[in-house]
Amino acid sequence: MKNLYRKYPKKLVFAGLLFITYLILLIPLENSQPIQKGSTKPFIWNQDSLWKHLEFKFKEAKILGCDKIQTSIDSFLNSSKIILNEISQKSLQPTNEKYSTLEKQLFETAPLIPTCIDRFKEYINFYSRLREVIKEQSRKWDMNSIEAKNTIYRLLYGNRTAVEEIMLQLPPDKINTLINGVDETSQTPSSKILGVVVHSGDILVSRGGAPTSALIARGSDYPGNFSHIALVHIAENNKTISIIESHIERGVVISSIDEYLKDKKLRIMILRIRQDLIMYDPMIPHKAATYALENVKVNHIPYDFEMNTSDPEKQFCSEVASSAYKKLGINLWAVISNISSYGTRNWLSAFGVKYFQTEEPSDLEYDPQLSVVAEWRDSETLYKDHLDNAVTDVMLEKADSGKVLSYDWYALPIGRLAKLYSLVLNIFDEVGPIPEGMSPEAALKNKKYSEDHELIKNKLVELAKDFETEKGYRAPYWELVELGRIARDAVMNN
């Protein structure tokens, strides 16, 4: 080294050493295992002609006006109520034709409602009743069968989509942000969140605003609208609400209700264990929440990027609820979630996921053990939810056609230094720029994915505005997907 200093200026030697260090840090260390193809197939609606037909009906209703379509609404709703009543009085298997008839009736009704705004409340009430009846029916189904999965998904997710398509065509002051469900009895301590009585042990299923939140929601075999799970604990003495949840950045934490709501939520659904399942000990939900609360207080629980539900030492959001209830003998996610798409598996594996049979937030709604107490949407960001979903769906189409996630290769040394800095901060229980358990490569891919998602969404917003100006109404979801493909190709080919 001394000889180097004599022969060359110190600054030049230092610059050379830095350059060599930079080159060393550029060497990729990832040794990813080949991704296996899924054994099942993702659900596909495959009903483009129906969506176009419904859009035509919506435009036709706008021209005719409310007075001329009231009879049609009455006919559809009355017929649907009769079918639902017949279903509620029998035990029907998921293949029964009444379910498909009911689905068709409600889809035919939905395009008419925005023209007759006063009928929206009636439609919402029927939707809530439908969800209650279908959930009751599913208690007798083999939820591992494809028929059961498809039927409950088509009716619950399909009709949520119909409700939201109506909402997005209504003036903001006419939107019902809160839709009540089943007031499931509970004996655990209670309080209120967003105007709804919640009980200790209730499960909050929500949707975040980040691009990766949309990826979590849409990446399952049954694409949904939710990306996050949290468990409610309410103190017996002073009714203090604590939210136990797992964040990518911090692992499992205890949040106040204000902190929970401050972290952007596009929608929240409240689920509660059925009382008839815990008659032997009605306090099980509170005991589960208390276990989760105390566990966080005494243990540091990192985020589980692998999504391995059999390892409680690390927990992603769903595991916070499932592991706590499992301690009390209740196995949530009666049907384990599958991520079968080869492209989606590849992308998720780039972020550290190794287990593709896991517990997806959206799928918890279909668990027969749980009742849907209420669902709340932020009217100002509901459209953002749909935009994020459309962009994610068209990006995943590219994943299925072979596109892999990448990052700017020259940023890897900086990423590695950021990871080293993060590791030092983690020692002192501080949060660094790269989360604990995430590799620099995964962090850079996450960053690039989010940037691409934002670019496509910005272009989609422009196209959607042009659509609304030309057509006189907001683009429904199937049109957003079509516009999303145009936006994606324009951005990716630029």
Residue pLDDT, tens place only, 164-210: 999 999 988 888 789 999 999 999 999 999 999 999 999 999 999 89
8 A C-beta contact, residue 181 and residue 128: yes
How confident is the model at residue 303, as a pLDDT?
A: 96
Mean pLDDT of 397-408: 91
- 345: helix, coil or strand? helix
Of 36-45, 50-59, 272-281, 319-328, least confident by mean pLDDT is: 36-45
Q: Which residue has the higher pLDDT, 343 or 23?
A: 343
Q: Which residue has the higher pLDDT, 36 or 370?
A: 370
How confident is the model at residue 33, as a pLDDT?
A: 59
Q: In the predicted model, is pLDDT for residue 79 greater than 60?
A: yes
How confident is the model at residue 13, as a pLDDT?
A: 42
DSSP structural state of residue 476: P
Cβ count near 284 (within 10 Å): 20
- 279: helix, coil or strand? coil
d(CA 16, CA 71): 82
- Tell me the per-residue pLDDT of 335-354, one tens digit each, with 9 for 90 and over: 899 999 999 999 999 999 99
Task: List Cβ neighbours of 24 (8 Å cut-off, separation of 6 or more).
Answer: none
What value does the mean pLDDT of the chain take? 91
Mean pLDDT of 71-93: 96
Highest mean pLDDT among 279-288, 309-318, 396-405: 279-288
DSSP 215-240: HHHHSSSS--S--EEEEEEE-TTT--
The C-alpha angle 460, 464, 465, rounded to 5 degrees, equals 120
> What confidence tier does 263 reach under pLDDT thresholds 50, 70, 90?
confident
How confident is the model at residue 427, as a pLDDT?
A: 87
How confident is the model at residue 177, as a pLDDT?
A: 86
> In sequence order, which ranges of 89-188 are alpha helices (DSSP H)?
97-109, 120-138, 146-167
How confident is the model at residue 32, as a pLDDT?
A: 56
Q: In Å, what is the CA distance from 338 to each residue of 6, 200, 208, 366?
A: 64, 29, 21, 14
d(CA 453, CA 211): 7
How confident is the model at residue 4, as a pLDDT?
A: 47
Of 29-38, 114-123, 142-151, 360-369, least confident by mean pLDDT is: 29-38
Q: In the predicted model, is pLDDT for residue 26 greater than 60?
A: no
Q: Which residue has the higher pLDDT, 39 or 414?
A: 414
From the number of C-beta atoms within 10 Å of its C-beta (0-12, 13-18, 19+), residue 164 rates as buried
Mean pLDDT of 252-276: 94
Q: In Å, what is the CA distance from 5 to each residue of 2, 11, 13, 15?
A: 5, 9, 7, 12
pTM summary value:
0.92
